[in-house]
Amino acid sequence: MKPLEPISFGARLALGLLFFVVFVAAWSLATFGGFVSKTFLADPLTMIDEGRILIVRYGFLGDIAITIWRVVGGFVLAAAVAVPLGVLMGAYKPVEALLEPFISFARYLPASAFIPLLILWAGTGELQKLLVIFIGSFFQLVLIIAVTVGGTRRDLVEAALTLGAKDSRILTRVLLPAAGPQIAETLRLVLGWAWTYVIVAELIGSSAGIGHMIIDSQALLATGQIIFGIIVIGIIGLVSDFLFKALNRRLFAWSTL
């Protein structure tokens, strides 16, 4: 291995699968070997069986669909506001000076701390879940996007000015194309954070969703169901991550990300 040396797609796939194989083997050894009580950690076969029961008997697919809708809805709302605001902050220093102190302050506030207030303001319905995801994603997105746009190579801007480009053209033809790949990568990363916020939101005051199933299973000491729900979240996240990467490569073919 050499630093930053690329590897083939086949090697990447094999190494990625190898880690999962090692992980499941260690899990199986710990549970089937009796090193860990099934009360605290279900074995893989029990987890699969309890997952099947959740889907067949308790309509867990509906819970999955509800959670996906909440993540997508809250994240899209956050991105729709955060991306243009972050671009403006990165491109125009007065806007950055006005908003950055508050954005920097707000991004340290945990979204989960707002849940009691959001329940008072919006109840325990869908709006409350969407707002938790919005708060958790919005401030992170704005600041990272602003830094990305503000870090655009100065020589590109100066070249555009030399050629007579106006401010609006510099924004649309220089800053956005240069920062676009990294903005898309930021959206991909923060989408993963959105999944943590939705589960926290569903643990409190929810009657459906993966988080609701997990908290119900915890009360019954059904660790197999808890692990199944966690793995489902991981699988959905992994699939969405790959789809995001594929879309980014198509939209920004000039990027090396």
The residue type found at 72 is V
Measured between alpha carbons, how far is 103 from 225 in angstroms, rounded to an integer? 39
Measured between alpha carbons, how far is 186 from 173 in angstroms, rounded to an integer? 20
Contact yes or no for 144/126 (Cβ under 8 A):
no
Contacts made by residues 244-247, CB under 8 angstroms, sequence distance 24+ = 244/184, 244/187, 244/188, 244/191, 245/188, 247/184
DSSP labels for 52-109?
Answer: HHHHHHH-HHHHHHHHHHHHHHHHHHHHHHHHHHHHHHHH-HHHHHHHHHHHHHHTTS
Going from the N-terminus, what domains does the chain have, and what CATH number goes with each?
54-251 (1.10.3720.10)
Give, for all 257 residues of the chain, the pLDDT tens digit.
667 677 787 878 888 889 889 999 998 998 888 888 877 888 899 999 999 998 988 888 998 999 999 999 999 999 999 999 999 998 888 988 999 899 989 888 888 888 888 888 887 778 888 898 999 899 999 999 999 988 877 766 666 666 666 666 777 777 778 888 889 889 988 988 888 888 888 877 677 888 888 888 887 778 889 999 999 988 988 888 888 888 888 887 766 55
How far CA 28 is from CA of 52, 74, 231, 254, in Å, comes to 19, 37, 15, 44
